[in-house]
Chain A
Amino acid sequence: MNIPTVADLAAKGQSPEVLFWVGCAGSYDDRYKRVTKAFVKIMNAVGTNFAVLGTEESCTGDPARRAGNEFLFQMQAMANIQVLNGYGIKKIVTACPHCFNTIKNEYPELGGNYEVIHHSTFLQQLINEGKIKLEGGGSFKGKKITYHDSCYLGRANNIYEAPRQVLEALDADLVEMKRCKTTGLCCGAGGAQMFKDAEKGKKEINIERAEEALHTGAKTIAVACPFCMTMMTDGVKNKEREADVSVKDLAELIAEAKGL
């Protein structure tokens, strides 16, 4: 893998066409690091001119803002904007819908204006441009895949089709859950829920959602968000189906189909 940092490029007087915003989960979470790497491999394979911030990256502040700590959110946002503007970043791609939403919708008011796209849209564009070709669909051809909408892509930003088009490129049999797109059920970990236990109730949200996904009969549950990844994986484990059902990110599916 070739993973340039923005600082490296800057030292050479260059700047990347697109900054890959890795996010905290993509940097630290063992499971999501695999998504990060899969996405880097794809970008390497198609020759995307990208770079990462490396240790200069920092939490966007999303969970702080959603939990209610506006001071902390804005401290983080301002610091990040200083770094991004300092490097003259124009375009950002990220594999985290929460980072995506925050940088795209909430940084402009604080002085951070960038073209921000989620990796599902980025992959869809690569497919449309013919840069990713999957002859015969590869290993997923005809296999049942269901897609779990991330709230922060779907309802929050109206991105419903890009992830589905990526899956269609796999020539897989895309089966929808009853609650999908605008009525897609949350995995349970948005709004800073990832960082605390759920309130008392009769069921965990991710189990409700995992049951729905398993009900489709799909052996692969495609996700596009680190929190959905954790929640759906835990849900599948709770139903003791981890042996035959896997939860995978779009980038992983593409990388796998391409043999990367």
Chain B
Amino acid sequence: MIQQIAFVITLGIATFFIRKRVLRIRDNIRLGKQVAIDDRIGERFQNMLLVAFGQKKMFKKLIPAILHFFIYVGFLVINLEVLEFVVDGLLGTHRVFAPFLGSFYGILMNIFEFLAVAVLLACVFFLIRRNVLSIPRFHSAELTKWPLLDANLILITEIVLMTAILTMNASDQILQGRDEHYVATGNLFFSSFLIPLFENLSTGTLVFIERFAWWFHIIGILGFAVYVTYSKHLHIFLAFPNTYYGKLEAKGHINNMPVVTNEVKSMLGLSTEAPNPPAEPGRFGAKDINDLSWHNLMAAYSCTECGRCTAECPANLTGKKLSPRKIMMDTRDRMEEVGKSIESGGPGLNDGKSLLGDYITKEEINACTSCNACVEACPVLINPLEIILELRRYVSMEESGAPASWNSMYQNIETNFAPWKFSPSDRFNWAKEESNK
């Protein structure tokens, strides 16, 4: 009974914190511009199924993809066991599903154990890969301090949680022969290897170990669920909507600005109706997070900082400051900063800071070649290029702060209709120069 009360309290606390964070994240994303993404529903579902559910883009790197796939399937399947944990916790039962499922329960538990072992080994491999092997994308400038700690904490937590399951099952199996409260599960293959460690312990000690592991696992999972909302690990949920809302047009397409279209049309005398003045003046391009679309902001929360984008970025590869991953991390950090400020009654967006300037510099955005390598590389269809281009629009149109040579290029286009300083009347001269091959 005490255990049941303790469980209800634990569950309540976890739910409270998760709910609070989920609402905060939702409100942070809503700081972004309202943009309707409601077209081509079939294609969007297909993308979500292939890319998020089916992990299609992960498989560009085979070995990490397989290991990641085990962790992913483990996450999906082992959560079924968590369901039993919750029912047991609330009703004070033990392995409540076992009598209903009969021998199938044992099979199911063996599958869970296989996945637990696979997750454990994959996480150990990932820890080694991240910390020992010198893979550049795990040692970039933006991947120090919290992001580095975050990545390792996730892996270590998963290892510890899986160890708890196996310990629990090992002690449980011994107890099955000693105490009828412990329902027979049949042989559990992987945890059987741990039995020699516990065999000689007294029944009382074993019950304690089993209970401890049970509580440790469920508190661990609930605690981890709260942690995830503060972590890059949020991709486990947001990858799904993010791929659903991902860009469907050709990657080379840049979003149109209808506000500008209206103005240009009226300047050229193309539109008969008076241009509707926009409800709020709004900025051209983006200076801060509220100038980006809500989908750009959701993408920032979906980023798990794997750095495949940065590893493919030609600017980053040649030592420029630009890192597409940092663009996403900065967007998220700025959202968190604004969100925290709003939560504590602070100035929020009007804190005198902005995404451009305080987080992302012009030097970074100017280095982008718009080659789409980052977009292509992202396993969850995040588009850092969209953010970069919105920031450039702000710099060019609101600040007139583009590099001097770009301003000359603009001037050339305006006066000569070509980005170089050539006379428009010479445009067709090539046809007269037949002889010089």
Contact = CB atoms under 8 A, between A and B. Distances in A.
Contact of B369 (A74, A109, A189, A200): A189
A73 to B, nearest CB: 8
B369 A72 contact: no
Interface in A52-108: 52, 54-55, 57-59, 61, 63-72, 74-76, 78-79, 82, 101, 104-106
Given A158-B250, A192-B409, A202-B319, A68 B397 contact: yes
A120 B264 CA distance: 33
Interface string A2-44: 0101000000000000000010101111000110110000000
A203 interface: yes
A128 interface: no
By CB atoms of chain B within 10 A, which of A104, A156, A204 has the most?
Answer: A156
A106 B263 contact: no
A186 B420 contact: no
A72 B413 CA distance: 8
Nearest to B391: A68
Contacts of B321: 199-200
Contact of A186 (B265, B371, B394): B371
A37 B249 CA distance: 33
B27 to A, nearest CB: 29
Interface string B410-427: 100110011110101111
Contact of B393 (A70, A76, A196): A70
B174 to A, nearest CB: 52
Interface in B231-257: 249-254, 256-257
Nearest to B404: A196
A138 interface: no
B264 A59 contact: no
Given A27-B428, A58-B424, A199-B321, A72 B414 contact: yes
B254 A191 contact: no
A208 interface: yes
B270 A55 contact: no
Contacts of A58: 417-418, 424
A75 B363 CA distance: 27
Given A68-B392, A106-B253, A208 B317 contact: yes
A182 B410 CA distance: 31
A61 B413 contact: yes
A183 interface: yes
Contacts of A37: 430, 434, 437
B265 A78 contact: yes
Interface string B265-280: 1011010000000000
Nearest to B363: A199
Interface in B385-404: 389, 392-397, 402-403
Interface string A100-131: 01001110011000000000000000000000
How many of chain B's residues touch chain A, expressed as a range? 35 or more
B406 interface: yes
A250 to B, nearest CB: 17
A74 B413 CA distance: 12
A28 B402 contact: no
Given A59-B413, A155-B251, A200-B319, 19 more contacts: A27-B418, A28-B420, A33-B433, A55-B424, A66-B392, A67-B410, A68-B393, A68-B394, A68-B397, A69-B396, A69-B397, A74-B261, A78-B270, A155-B371, A192-B409, A199-B315, A199-B321, A201-B320, A204-B318
B119 interface: no
Interface residues of A, number: 72
A238 interface: no
Contact of A69 (B251, B402, B405): B402
A96 to B, nearest CB: 12
25 contacts: A5-B428, A28-B430, A33-B433, A54-B427, A55-B428, A64-B409, A64-B410, A66-B389, A70-B393, A71-B264, A74-B264, A78-B268, A105-B252, A151-B370, A151-B372, A157-B250, A157-B251, A182-B376, A183-B376, A188-B369, A191-B368, A198-B320, A200-B319, A203-B319, A204-B318
B371 A190 contact: yes
Nearest to B264: A74
A101 B397 contact: no
A1 B252 CA distance: 33
Nearest to A79: B268
Given A54-B427, A191-B368, A183 B410 contact: no
Given A63-B409, A69-B410, A201 B318 contact: yes
Nearest to A109: B256
B314 interface: yes
A72 B396 CA distance: 11
Interface string A187-225: 011111111111111111100110000000000000000
B341 interface: no
Nearest to A38: B437
A28 B174 CA distance: 84
Contacts of A78: 264-265, 268, 270
A68 B368 contact: no
Given A36-B430, A202-B319, A68 B285 contact: yes
A78 B419 CA distance: 17
Contact of A105 (B250, B406, B417): B250
B155 interface: no
Given A191-B369, A199-B366, A105 B418 contact: no
A26 B425 CA distance: 15
A157 B376 CA distance: 12
